[in-house]
Structure 1
Amino acid sequence: MPREADAAYACAMTSAIFVATYWLANHFTSLRHDVGATVFDWERHIPFVPWTIVPYLSICVFFVLSFFAEGGPIELRRHVARLMLVLLVAMLCYAAFPLRFTFERPVVDGLFHPMYAALVWFDRPYNRAPSLHIAVLLVLWARFSPCRGQWAGRCLHLWFGLIAVSVLTTYQHHVIDVLAGWLLGAGVVAVTALPDGGRPRRARQ
């Protein structure tokens, strides 16, 4: 397992880079006049499901925990490299092909209102494809999967599946964004795969 100090440092630095880079990219895209949209007509039948904001935002928890997952310093560095590569490619795509989300999200009151309010405060409806949420989810999936037990693995797959669906049912992304994010995340995981298949190694004593 990576030393807690190293994991905490990697978590803090990577999180800061992600937040700052994504916010700035969103801000600058909002100032552009060439922002398009790609949406299929049948997507209008996708329902808005307010409670799915919970799995949607839970990726932040898994993001932090991923730096402390089982494995040694090599796995930690590989994980950080994957996240940085996903971020870099996504930013290049946003600069070259800026897209925005086009559906109007219904007003949400009650228990989930603060969560949507926080989301709106931070995330503008720009830079949709590839979905960084989905790309990062694939990287997290690869990070946690080797560490799972039978029941924990089933719960992990179920919850991560909910996170994947939630990008549509919270009205954050169109389907094309999800597909592009999936290709990005899967591609990064594939090209950076460990020789042993990604199984965590025990750190030397």
Structure 2
Amino acid sequence: MLWMLLLGAMFIHGYSWTNQWAASQAQTYSLHGRWDDAVPFWAWTIWPYLALNLLYPLTFFICPTRSALRRHALAIALVQAVCMVAFVCWPTGNIRAVPEPEGASGLLFAQLRAFEAPFNMAPSLHAAVLVLVWQAWLGGLQATAVPLRWLWHGACGLILLSTLTTWQHDLLDVLAGLLLGVLALWIARSVPMPRRPSG
């Protein structure tokens, strides 16, 4: 619970501040390429996109050991810190005008826009955190049936796709986020964790 609250606060305050910072800049950058113009806008994919916001806090409660929890928290802290530094040093913005869908999906887009302006695109923090959440839940599903694990892979694949089809990120933003997530996993696994003294 403590890790979830601390890192959740780091995300909410840090992301909000860097988003406002980027919005205040006279010039922002973009990794948008011609290939991104071929990506369709699918309003319904806002549902899997926002599903990560529910899976993220729950992940702290499924780590099987204290060491696994610490490694997961370290990886989360790393990706958040690196992304926020990048957002300040190299502010990025969405150069596309996102459509305003109607219905339930439109309400979710409105709620998303109430929290963030269309900045902080590269690297994709959404993609980086998804790597860590995917790995954490996969560890808890090792003892389950194979179809359930493939269902989890598919759900994460849909969340990853939604970062593009909601026009929240461009392809290079997402690739950078995936690389950052993998790097954070590797670092977290390489760092020795203190053990409880015996006796």
TM-score in same-fold range (> 0.5): yes
2:96 aligned partner, one-letter code: F
User: Take 2:2 and 2:187, find their aligned partners in 1: how far apart are those partners?
Assistant: 25
2:66 aligned partner, one-letter code: P
Per the alignment, residue 198 of structure 1 pairs with none
1:52 aligned partner, one-letter code: T
Correspondences of 1:47-62 after superposition (within 5 Å): 47-62=40-55
Q: How many residue pairs end up in the alignment?
A: 189
**TM-superposition CA deviations, 1:50-84 (whole Å, max 9, x none):** 11001000001110110111411111111111111
1:75 to 68, 83, 89: 68
**TM-superposition CA deviations, 1:160-187 (whole Å, max 9, x none):** 0000000010010011100110110011
User: Take 1:189 and 1:105, find their aligned partners in 2: how far apart are those partners?
Assistant: 32
Correspondences of 1:86-165 after superposition (within 5 Å): 86-148=79-141, 149=144, 150-165=146-161
How far is the alpha carbon of 1:102 from its aligned partner?
A: 1.1
C-alpha RMSD over aligned residues:
1.5
Q: Does structure 1 residue 166 correspond to structure 2 residue 162?
A: yes
1:188 aligned partner, one-letter code: A
Per the alignment, residue 178 of structure 1 pairs with 174
**Contact 2:75 / 2:187 at 8 angstroms: preserved in 1?**
no
1:189 to 185, 189, 192: 185
2:156 aligned partner, one-letter code: F
**Contact 2:31 / 2:172 at 8 angstroms: preserved in 1?**
yes
Per the alignment, residue 194 of structure 2 pairs with none
User: Take 1:107 and 1:167, find their aligned partners in 2: how far apart are those partners?
Assistant: 16
User: Take 2:4 and 2:35, find their aligned partners in 1: how far apart are those partners?
Assistant: 39
Q: Does structure 1 residue 13 correspond to structure 2 residue 6?
A: yes
How far is the alpha carbon of 1:9 from its aligned partner?
A: 2.0
Match of 1:192, SS state, is helix
How far is the alpha carbon of 1:45 from its aligned partner?
A: 1.6
Structure-1-length-normalised TM-score = 0.88
2:186 aligned partner, one-letter code: A
Range moving further from structure 2, 144-153 or 179-188: 144-153
How far is the alpha carbon of 1:155 from its aligned partner?
A: 1.2
Q: Percent identity?
A: 31
How far is the alpha carbon of 1:194 from its aligned partner?
A: 6.1
1:88 aligned partner, one-letter code: A
Long gaps (5+) in structure 2: 192-199
User: Take 2:190 and 2:140, find their aligned partners in 1: how far apart are those partners?
Assistant: 15
